[in-house]
Amino acid sequence: MTFYGSAGMHSPGSPIRQEADRIKAKFGDDKLMLLLAPEGDRAKEARFSEALAQTPGITSVMSYANTVSTEIPPEVLPEKVTGNFYADGYARFIVTTNLADEGPETFRMIDRLRAVSEEYYPNDSHLLGEAAVNFDLKHFITEDTIKVLMAGILSIGLVLLINFKNLSIPVILLVIIQGSIWLNMAWPYLTGSPLNYVGYQIVSSLQLGATVDYGILLSQRYLEGRKAKSPKEAAEYALTAATGSILPPASILVIAGYALGFLVRDNGIISEMGFIIGRGAFMSALMVLLVLPLVLAYSDKLIQKTMLRRRKKTV
């Protein structure tokens, strides 16, 4: 599965993407980035410009050193000339690339540019541009993924623990719902289609929060049935009693998700999120209605032993 960021904002057939393709065909696909480094050493700036220009993926570098000359002091030139290359104590290096805004090759280029900058200006240079922003977003968001996932799971697990007064039911419900999320997110991998990373994070959290209610409802019905029934009978009772309450909201979420996916085709991310939400709601309902009753019945002994409060003797 391939994750992407801003590149999939608009669908291929959308008016905005068509206009962007026409602009690209007429003016090319070069993109500009700005690199800021401390001003002062003109010879160093010239060497730095040459090093930047040798980076794979870079088509040109504009700086005072290679555009005007290191032999001409900036003080003798008008501000409208020097203002393009010097401001607030920093020298500007305008870097042009023909690579995409994101992708493995682009990120390797950003890594290399920053390595060269650190070599000439340690801890005192700044790279600006869409590719650099995408690189930083990928780095920090990926780093925080586990933290966000664990925070969501622990928060919902705590609510389930308080609600059921049981140690095992929250774990069972979270495994079932999280399993449906993983199945949902495995679909792009199996079909070989890309997936927007921010959309992936949003939908994962949304599906976990929106569909855990299905599991809560069925589990409550199972515990009600266990007061007078065997585990198998309680599972059958829970399925019969909860299906009518689970199917309507699940159907609404599925229909709303797919409607969003089909109706907002111009915006790639929103359309994609709609399809993922609809598919996720369907998979969650399927897991809760088909898998959860069996798991509860087979885990009955564990459930009874991990109760945090006394219950009436069950069958």
Which pTM was predicted?
A: 0.67
Residue 213 lies in a domain: yes
Domain count, the chain: 2
Q: Are residues 167 and 294 in the same domain?
A: yes
Q: Are residues 152 and 299 in the same domain?
A: yes
More confident residue, 142 or 282: 282
Tell me the percentage of the chain whose pLDDT exceeds 70: 87
Q: How confident is the model at residue 13 (pLDDT cuts 50, 70, 90)?
A: low
Give the model's pLDDT for residue 12. Answer: 57
Q: Are residues 103 and 159 in the same domain?
A: no
Is the confidence at residue 83, as pLDDT, over 70? yes
* Residue 90 burial class via C-beta count within 10 angstroms: exposed 0-12, middle 13-18, buried 19 and up: middle
Q: Are residues 254 and 207 in the same domain?
A: yes
CATH of residue 103: 3.30.70
For residues 51-63, average pLDDT:
90
Residue 76 lies in a domain: yes
Q: Which helix (H) or strand (E) holds 99?
A: none
Is the confidence at residue 90, as pLDDT, over 60? yes
Q: Are residues 65 and 158 in the same domain?
A: no
Is the confidence at residue 310, as pLDDT, over 60? no
Alpha carbons within 13 angstroms on the beta-carbon side of residue 18 total: 4
More confident residue, 232 or 30: 232
Is the confidence at residue 192, as pLDDT, over 70? yes
Residue 158 lies in a domain: yes
Q: Are residues 167 and 283 in the same domain?
A: yes
More confident residue, 21 or 83: 83
Task: Concatenate the DSSP letters of all residues of 178-190 into one string.
Answer: HHHHHHHHHHHHH
Q: Are residues 121 and 183 in the same domain?
A: no
Where does residue 291 fall: left (phi above 0), alpha (psi -120 to 50 degrees), or beta otherwise? alpha
CA pair distance 160, 169, nearest whole angstrom: 8
Residue 164 lies in a domain: yes
Residue 235 lies in a domain: yes
Could you list the residue range(s) of the whole structural domain that residue 36 is in? Answer: 30-97+99-128
Residue 205 lies in a domain: yes
CATH of residue 223: 1.20.1640.10
Give the model's pLDDT for residue 148. Answer: 76
How do strand 126-128 and strand 3-4 relate by DSSP bridges?
unpaired
Q: How confident is the model at residue 255 (pLDDT cuts 50, 70, 90)?
A: very high
| DSSP SS3 for 269 | helix
Is the confidence at residue 217, as pLDDT, over 80? yes
Is the confidence at residue 4, as pLDDT, over 70? no
CA pair distance 14, 74, nearest whole angstrom: 47
Give the model's pLDDT for residue 294. Answer: 93
Alpha carbons within 13 angstroms on the beta-carbon side of residue 179 total: 13
Q: How confident is the model at residue 2 (pLDDT cuts 50, 70, 90)?
A: very low
Residue 299 lies in a domain: yes
Residue 290, number of CB atoms within 10 A of its CB: 10
Give the model's pLDDT for residue 168. Answer: 92
More confident residue, 2 or 77: 77
Q: How confident is the model at residue 28 (pLDDT cuts 50, 70, 90)?
A: low
Residue 139 lies in a domain: no
Closest listed residue to residue 238, CA positions, set 300, 157, 167: 300
Q: Are residues 288 and 226 in the same domain?
A: yes
